[in-house]
């Protein structure tokens, strides 16, 4: 570690960092299906970089890239304080002589890392000059002020930027109609901040990089103008407005 006020025999430096480190984070579904990876490189220990999120309190690591849902991502990563009331637990050291099977039983010290991610592409609900491309599930007619959505109704979203599907597809190839290609990443639709029931998340047959997401409007949604937001692989779209009766 370099220090700014060295004692005799110590190195002098203008930064107070402990180590140069790199890492690869792999994100999985609950069933073990891979979602994507994020690679990081930089300093650990010391203060966060300028412009880091307020909750980031240490480290200075750059996001150098990603795969899968995080293809081409950039950004930064650092340490963040644990939520109030969460005990980090005792520090536990491991060794090559330790039986790895016990690590899931005994666990280890808790830590919290924060990723500030700038994705190459983010999920978006497609829009036209007449508004967002949202359709009634019953007859595929567009949702509009004169034909609003109903509480409890299934709606269809036309979206982009949802990432890879579970079946592999060459870039630039339209999605097939048979079989339907399911979006690999976790997808969530919220209406006025309330998570809705997701019906399906597929590549739109015959279209390239366009997806179809079917969801049910929550029964307790307040009539009026609803705020709709789409999330894929924890990356959130812009908000759009949808009339609801």
Name which residue leads in pLDDT, 15 or 204.
204
Residue 83, C-beta contacts closer than 8 angstroms, at least 6 positions apart? 112
Enter the tokens of residue 223.
């009539």
Is the separation of the CB atoms in 173 and 166 below 8 Å? no
Class of domain 124-244: mainly beta
Domain extents for the chain?
19-118, 124-244
The pLDDT tens digits of the residues spanning 102-134 come to 766 766 677 889 999 999 989 999 999 889 999
Average pLDDT over residues 218-223: 95
Strand-strand pairing, 134-136 and 154-160: antiparallel
Q: Kindly tell me the number of DSSP H helices and DSSP E strands found in the chain.
A: 1, 17
Q: What is the pTM of this model?
A: 0.80
CA pseudo-torsion sign 156, 160, 163, 169: positive
pLDDT at 231 (0 to 100): 97
**pLDDT beyond 60 at 233:** yes
**pLDDT beyond 60 at 3:** no
pLDDT at 99 (0 to 100): 76
Rounded CA gap, 134 and 148, in Å? 10
């Amino acid at each position: 570690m370099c220090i700014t006020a060295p004692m005799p025999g110590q190195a002098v430096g203008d930064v107070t960092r402990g180590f140069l480190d790199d890492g690869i984070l792999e994100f999985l579904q609950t069933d073990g299906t891979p979602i994507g990876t994020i690679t990081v490189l930089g300093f650990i220990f010391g203060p966060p970089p300028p412009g880091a999120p307020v909750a980031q309190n240490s480290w200075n690591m750059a996001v150098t890239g990603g795969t899968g849902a995080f293809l081409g991502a950039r950004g930064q990563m650092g340490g963040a304080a644990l939520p109030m009331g969460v005990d980090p637990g005792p520090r536990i050291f491991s060794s090559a002589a330790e039986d790895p099977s016990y690590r899931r039983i005994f666990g280890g010290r808790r830590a919290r890392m924060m990723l500030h991610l700038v994705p190459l592409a983010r999920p978006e609900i497609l829009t036209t000059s007449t508004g967002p491309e949202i359709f009634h599930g019953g007859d595929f007619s567009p949702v509009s002020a004169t034909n609003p959505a109903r509480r409890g109704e299934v709606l269809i979203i036309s979206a982009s930027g949802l990432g890879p599907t579970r079946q592999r597809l060459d870039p630039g190839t339209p999605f097939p109609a048979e079989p339907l290609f399911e979006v690999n990443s976790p997808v969530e639709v919220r209406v006025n901040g309330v998570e809705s029931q997701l019906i399906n998340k597929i590549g739109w047959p015959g279209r390239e990089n366009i997806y179809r997401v079917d969801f049910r409007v929550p029964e307790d949604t307040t009539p009026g103008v609803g705020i709709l937001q789409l999330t894929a692989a924890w990356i959130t779209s812009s908000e759009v407005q949808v009339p609801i009766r």
